[in-house]
């Protein structure tokens, strides 16, 4: 693959995806086995909605933004809901979508065999 010039945002998304795997331990096998029902995409949408719907709170009261409870459709235990800032949450959302795309690609490859 040719060397890509990534924007800072794209580099941050790829770094977050790597962090999810190495620091959190969310391996590819875990994603394939535990997230078969759209959980990764649902979690991504929760972070994206939070950034869009509550981002206006952050500049003046970041602690209010960060302390809000997990949305009703958050697919995992509430302890995994960790809003940070609108930008950081969009990075998390995009990395989660990337994880879902990778999972779907692996599923497609397995089904073709």
Distance between CA atoms of residues 41 and 98, nearest Å: 9
The model's pLDDT over 49-67, given as tens digits with 9 standing for 90+, comes to 999 999 999 999 999 999 9
The domain segmentation of the chain, as residue ranges, is: 8-112
What is the pLDDT, as a whole number, of residue 48? Answer: 98
pTM above threshold 0.85: yes
Return the percentage of the chain with pLDDT > 70, whole number: 98
HEC readout, 33-83? HHCCCCHHHHHHHHHHHHHHHHHHHCCCCHHHHHHCCCCCCCCCCHHHCCC
What is the pLDDT, as a whole number, of residue 37? Answer: 82
Please name which of 65, 60, 61 lies closest in space to residue 88, comparing C-alpha atoms: 65
Span 79-95, average pLDDT: 98
């Amino acid at each position: 693959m040719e060397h890509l010039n990534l924007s800072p945002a794209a580099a941050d998304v790829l770094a977050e995806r790597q962090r999810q795997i190495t620091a959190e331990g969310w391996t590819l096998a875990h994603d394939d086995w535990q997230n078969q029902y759209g959980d990764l995409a649902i979690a991504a949408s929760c972070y994206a909605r939070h950034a869009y719907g509550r981002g206006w709170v952050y500049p003046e009261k970041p602690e209010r933004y960060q302390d809000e409870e997990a949305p009703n459709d958050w697919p995992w235990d509430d302890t995994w809901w960790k809003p940070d800032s609108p930008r950081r949450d969009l990075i998390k959302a995009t990395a989660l979508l990337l994880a879902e795309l990778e999972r779907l690609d692996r599923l497609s490859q397995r089904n073709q065999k």
